[in-house]
Amino acid sequence: MSSKITLFTMMSLMIISCSDDQDDYYEDVKNIEELAIDKNSNRLIFTDGWETGCWRAYYHKKSSNGSCDVGTRWNNSQMQTYLGGAATTYVGEVANSFVPREGDYAMKFTWFRNAFDPDDPNNTSKAHLWTGHELKRNTKRWYGFSMYMPSGAGGMEPDEEPEILVQWHGIPDLEKGETYRIPAAAILHIKDRLVFNYYYDENEISSTGTIKLGGKIELGKADLDIWIDFLIGIEWDPDGNDGYLEINRKNQIVGSSWERIIKQTDGVKIGYNDISDPNFGIGIYKFNSSRLNSEGKPLSKYYRRQIFFDSFRMGSRYQSRDVIPIGSAVR
């Protein structure tokens, strides 16, 4: 079901646009499509398990410990600044202090409520890594990844203030006067649930008044202290001619099996009418203390949030099985 969405509704779902300073990331970015030989290749387009023990990106926005010379290079990072005592606390780092999904390492994102970034307020809410965007339209991509939400006050306990954990962000046609908008799709953590929201706009120039909600899909409980695998397929098409959406989930516990949450192959309207298709981002994107409850206190009662990601793989339209986290099998 489709409906027009107001700015108030967008904000209440915590799907907000990035500031226009992000356009400098993409002036000379290496097209991730160049990493694939062709669409029939069995070579993955992008993959990272952080097994080098660090992460890196072409463009840094408060890069924390993202400096290393080997391994996968993400397109850009957006990391809030947090000053704890005399030293800066890293909000994006590779960890091996617990059991990763694969190998020896996983990516850890930490968000602090009292963080700030005087140079770029847009980073104040984020601990995020991004792939590069597609330099063409209406591509089909498969995404496989695992995420781990720890329990406890410094983990991902249910909260009144939602947060974006995964998002696909559209790249506006700046030369046409278009500005940054809400993500084309996102996985949100809302209280104790995971929800997938997606939007579309077939107009050449998208704006708050023309963007419509394509769907709000329940992904189930936000289970804590366990790895959750996802396999997601998307073909971007705001007109609904070739649009595709498939979401599969599996908890990594004995006896668990893949659950196909949704598979839509006909008439899916998803994404914007842009020259380029969206890029992919993971981490934590959450409002700070600007939103208050009825008692005048921050809506979020937690000063810190933390999540882990592992086994990220991105493949072409032919690679649904190639991107599945190792040890899983789709039915």
Structure confidence by residue, pLDDT tens digits, 269-296: 999 998 888 999 999 998 765 677 788 8
Which of 74, 66, 70, 64 has the alpha carbon at shortest distance from 29?
Answer: 74
Q: Which residues contact 85 (CB under 8 A, 6 or more apart)?
A: none
pLDDT on residue 258: 84
pLDDT, average across residues 61-72 = 59
Tell me the percentage of the chain whose pLDDT exceeds 90.
37
Is 49 contained in some domain?
A: yes
Our count of domains for the chain comes to: 1
Residue 97, pLDDT > 90, answer: no
Q: Which residues contact 118 (CB under 8 A, 6 or more apart)?
A: none
User: Residue 82: which pLDDT band, with cuts at 50, 70 and 90?
Assistant: low
Is 326 contained in some domain?
A: no
pLDDT on residue 55: 85
Q: What angle do CA 298, 60, 113 make, to 5 degrees?
A: 10
Contacts 24+ apart (CB under 8 A), 193-198: 193/218, 193/219, 193/220, 193/221, 193/222, 194/165, 194/218, 194/219, 194/220, 194/221, 194/222, 195/219, 196/247, 197/13, 197/15, 198/245, 198/270
User: Residue 84: which pLDDT band, with cuts at 50, 70 and 90?
Assistant: low
pLDDT on residue 135: 61
User: Residue 126: which pLDDT band, with cuts at 50, 70 and 90?
Assistant: confident
User: Residue 8: which pLDDT band, with cuts at 50, 70 and 90?
Assistant: very low
pLDDT, average across residues 15-28 = 35
Average pLDDT, the chain: 79
Residue 98, pLDDT > 80, answer: no
Q: Which residues contact 180 (CB under 8 A, 6 or more apart)?
A: 17, 18, 19, 20, 22, 172
Task: Compute CA distances 12 → 20, 160, 287, 291, 292, whole Å.
Answer: 21, 11, 11, 10, 13
Is 324 contained in some domain?
A: no
User: Residue 17: which pLDDT band, with cuts at 50, 70 and 90?
Assistant: very low
Residue 28, pLDDT > 60, answer: no
- Residue 69, exposed/middle/buried by CB under 10 A (0-12, 13-18, 19+)? exposed
**Element spanning 200, H or E:** strand 193-201
pLDDT on residue 56: 82
pLDDT, average across residues 240-251 = 93
Is 328 contained in some domain?
A: no
pLDDT, average across residues 19-38 = 34
Spatial separation of the C-alpha atoms in residues 145 and 232, rounded to whole Å: 9
- What are the tens digits of pLDDT across the range 175-212? 888 888 899 999 999 999 999 999 999 999 998 899 99
Is 320 contained in some domain?
A: no
pLDDT on residue 24: 30
Q: At 163, which CATH number?
A: 2.60.120.200
User: Residue 73: which pLDDT band, with cuts at 50, 70 and 90?
Assistant: confident
User: Residue 329: which pLDDT band, with cuts at 50, 70 and 90?
Assistant: low
Is 64 contained in some domain?
A: yes
pLDDT on residue 90: 66
- What are the tens digits of pLDDT across the range 304-325? 899 999 999 998 887 888 888 8
Full residue range of the structural domain in which residue 28 is found: 3-315
